Amino acid sequence: MNAHVCPIQLEQFAHQALVASGAHADHAAITAKLLVQTDTWGVYSHGTKLLGGYCRRLKAGGLQAEGSPQIADSGPAWAIVDGQSLMGQVTSQFAMQTAIERATTAGIAYVGVRNSCHFGAAGVYAAMAAEAGLIGMAMANDIPSVVAPGARQAVVGTNPLAYAIPTRQAPPILLDISMATVAGGKVYAAFQRGEPIAPDWLIGNDGQPTTDGSLYPSQAALAPMTGHKGYGLALLIESLSGLLSGAAITWSVGSWMHDDGTQPTDHGAAFLAINPAIIAGPKFLDRVEQLIDEIHSTPTAEGVPQVYLPGELEWKRRERALQEGIPFPPDVRAALDEVSENWGVPKLP
Amino acid sequence: MNAHVCPIQLEQFAHQALVASGAHADHAAITAKLLVQTDTWGVYSHGTKLLGGYCRRLKAGGLQAEGSPQIADSGPAWAIVDGQSLMGQVTSQFAMQTAIERATTAGIAYVGVRNSCHFGAAGVYAAMAAEAGLIGMAMANDIPSVVAPGARQAVVGTNPLAYAIPTRQAPPILLDISMATVAGGKVYAAFQRGEPIAPDWLIGNDGQPTTDGSLYPSQAALAPMTGHKGYGLALLIESLSGLLSGAAITWSVGSWMHDDGTQPTDHGAAFLAINPAIIAGPKFLDRVEQLIDEIHSTPTAEGVPQVYLPGELEWKRRERALQEGIPFPPDVRAALDEVSENWGVPKLP
């Protein structure tokens, strides 16, 4: 059984580590909160496991410790935010809050972001909008790791997309996906465990599908979900996150993990908020309830207890994590122990 | 070799058939133009092949022949359009034009549609925005035909999503996809030709994947693309097209082909337009060119001439079709011959 970690202690730990590597306390608080929220969902690939990399980049100076995101240009229903190379979480929270504020009066708002960095899980920003009663969408570009149909090499990033729909009582409907068939982390994990690599996961550098997990990532890249569909949607995300915001695109984006830590990565991101209260009035939430009830009453395959809404399992995990602690897998625990050693923060109990 | 049809003659034919079944001439002109545009892309499943069904529904009265779409409510950056049970093309073109107009000043606009019907190919509306220099998105709901993970039956429609990105010289980047792994038409076609059904295409009414094409559609439904991803995105489209607009959702939507032709179907749809000229200035188009050049120079797998942008092959087909005629497959020709007989319109040469 995995040892459980108290979310409050974990947030304090993350805050201390970020401050120890140079972050402003306010920025550390935002990032710590969002990383722990992601862990409570059970999405460990995008939670506090990222801390070590963020700390190194803060110390090296590629992530700026001081300053605040700036609105570079804007109108009543849109804004472009310059992230000043601050942590992606700081800039992205500011950008989504800006989108929420503008959509509150305008009905809809787009906020594009440039000079940002890795922003963690897209879902945390979409959820912010839903918690304010709005429909939220969040997306970002990244260094290429996903091929296009017919290509021998990666063309676009995994380019995550999340959305959230507010509900009357239950937590928001929440989807957070990448445009690859599966995440790179899943390829690594399957290979390390000796499990098979499915034929639609990887494309080798001859442009053909491969099931040899040892080739990834040096000689194979991720396949786009359902071929041209994932590739095409990744380009939409690139357009809204990078082309429209003025951020770096594709191979110009820096790798926050592997590239020179002293240099900004110039990731782009995009946030959309739509206000159902203005556009549809209170009936919107009635309709959401009707949809939820209908999906919950769908007959299921043998052994399947329920057809779930997107995010429903993650919110259940969060509820349990807030009561019983987060059941960290060993690799996350090991990553945090390393953070503890590197930045002089007391180990988590 | 398929006999080629002149697009101009085809548009006249479609116009005559729609008018013969009761359509207002202006409405017939819009629908004829958009259906033929779709055929020139080679997307025959959503082109003039649909004419017969539209004509029957017009005659029966479920599609209204007279009137015009009404703006039910609106703000500077959004609108809700009541389609008055007119042809989906008429209402959708009006809705996208409304989105384009509002985004021209507001930077971004959302237009939700209710009381609409089948709108053909989503791509034609996205392309309208791009031809006006804007980023366009178009989507719609439909009667359920796609399962959710773990379900024994369809939960959501194929819920098409299209987007278009304007370019400086080339035709727009254009993607038009459904949220199923493959379209139902592809399942029918493969089964009829005796070709195999891939294991990720269909889910039987026991909730398990099946490769038995004879089960579709009575005892099997379409699988969502990449499982939870397609299901989740279909619910986003349902939310923006149906929940927000006040249209029918899921099983309340009428089947435009199979249900009582005297009754409206109350399809929902959503249109988004984003104006790069306001948000990013003229540099936006430079960045689009940079992205296009980069993708075109990507090394390809053996036998693959080029990595294409989404829509690039469809625009090339259109260019050829405008010069040489549309190379109709026999099933489309047969469908149009039937229209000719039923509505007293001279056969296409």
pLDDT of residue B138: 98
Average pLDDT over all residues of chain A: 96
Task: Quote the distance between the C-alpha of residue A102 and its chain's center.
Answer: 23
Q: Which amino acid is at B321?
A: A
Mutate to test the interface with B, among A156, A203, A307 (most CBs of B within 10 A): A307
pLDDT of residue A184: 86
Q: Give A163's contacts (C-beta < 8 A, 6+ positions apart).
A: A126, A135, A136, A137, A138, A174, A175, B236
Judged by average pLDDT, the poorest of A112-126, B189-203, B301-315 is: B189-203
For chain B, count helices (H), then strands (E): 11, 14
With a pLDDT cut of 70, the percent of chain A lying above it is 99
Q: Do A175 and B232 lie within an 8 Å CB cutoff?
A: yes
Q: Does residue B1 have a pLDDT over 60?
A: no
Q: Are B191 and B213 in contact (CB under 8 A)?
A: yes
Taking the CA of residue B65 and the nearest CA in chain A, the distance in Å comes to 28
pLDDT of residue B305: 96
pLDDT of residue B188: 86
Distance between first and last Cα of chain B:
16
List the single residue in B80, B108, B239 with the smallest CB-CB distance to A78.
B108
Q: What number of residues does chain A have?
A: 349
State if pTM tops 0.95. Answer: yes
Mutate to test the interface with A, among B155, B298, B302 (most CBs of A within 10 A): B298
Beta-carbon count within 10 A of B286 CB = 13
| CATH class belonging to A70-172+230-279 | alpha beta
Give chain B positions within 8 Å (CB) of A111.
none
pLDDT in tens, B97-111: 999 999 999 999 999
Q: Does residue A151 have a pLDDT over 90?
A: yes
Give chain B positions within 8 Å (CB) of A290.
249
pLDDT of residue B2: 59
pLDDT of residue B196: 86
Q: B166: pLDDT confidence band, cut at 50, 70 and 90?
A: very high
Q: B349: pLDDT confidence band, cut at 50, 70 and 90?
A: confident
Q: Do B243 and A165 lie within an 8 Å CB cutoff?
A: yes
CATH topology (fold) of B181-223? Wheat Germ Agglutinin (Isolectin 2); domain 1 (3.30.60)
List the single residue in B78, B152, B225 with the smallest CB-CB distance to A225.
B225
pLDDT in tens, A290-306: 999 999 999 999 999 99
Q: Are A7 and A322 in contact (CB under 8 A)?
A: yes
pLDDT in tens, A83-123: 999 999 999 999 999 999 999 999 999 999 999 999 999 99
Q: Are strands A202-204 and A220-222 parallel, antiparallel or unpaired?
A: antiparallel
Average pLDDT of the residues in B37-64: 97
Give chain B positions within 8 Å (CB) of A299.
151-153, 207
Q: Give backbone dihedrals phi and psi of B154, rounded to 5 degrees, phi first.
A: -65, 145
Q: Which amino acid is at B22?
A: G
Closest residue in A to B180 (Cα–Cα): A226
For residue B189 the two structure tokens come to: 């076609």
Q: B184: pLDDT confidence band, cut at 50, 70 and 90?
A: confident
In terms of Cα–Cα distance, which of B142, B225, B230 is closest to B186? B225
Q: Do A226 and B226 lie within an 8 Å CB cutoff?
A: yes
| CATH class belonging to A7-60+315-343 | mainly alpha
Give chain A positions within 8 Å (CB) of B112.
279-280
Q: Where in chain B is the domain with CATH 3.30.1370.60?
A: 70-172+230-279
Please name the residue that has the structure tokens 């109350």: B266
Mutate to test the interface with B, among A279, A286, A290, A300 (most CBs of B within 10 A): A279
Average pLDDT of the residues in A197-221: 94
Q: A214: pLDDT confidence band, cut at 50, 70 and 90?
A: very high
Selected residue with higher pLDDT from A33 and B257: A33
In terms of Cα–Cα distance, which of B150, B206, B155, B147 is closest to A295? B155
Cα separation, B30 vs B18, in Å, equals 11
Give chain A positions within 8 Å (CB) of B291.
235, 238-239, 243, 249-250
Q: Where in chain A is the domain with CATH 3.30.60.50?
A: 181-223
Q: Do B287 and A76 lie within an 8 Å CB cutoff?
A: no
For residue A214 the two structure tokens come to: 């040892």
With a pLDDT cut of 90, the percent of chain B lying above it is 93
With a pLDDT cut of 90, the percent of chain A lying above it is 93
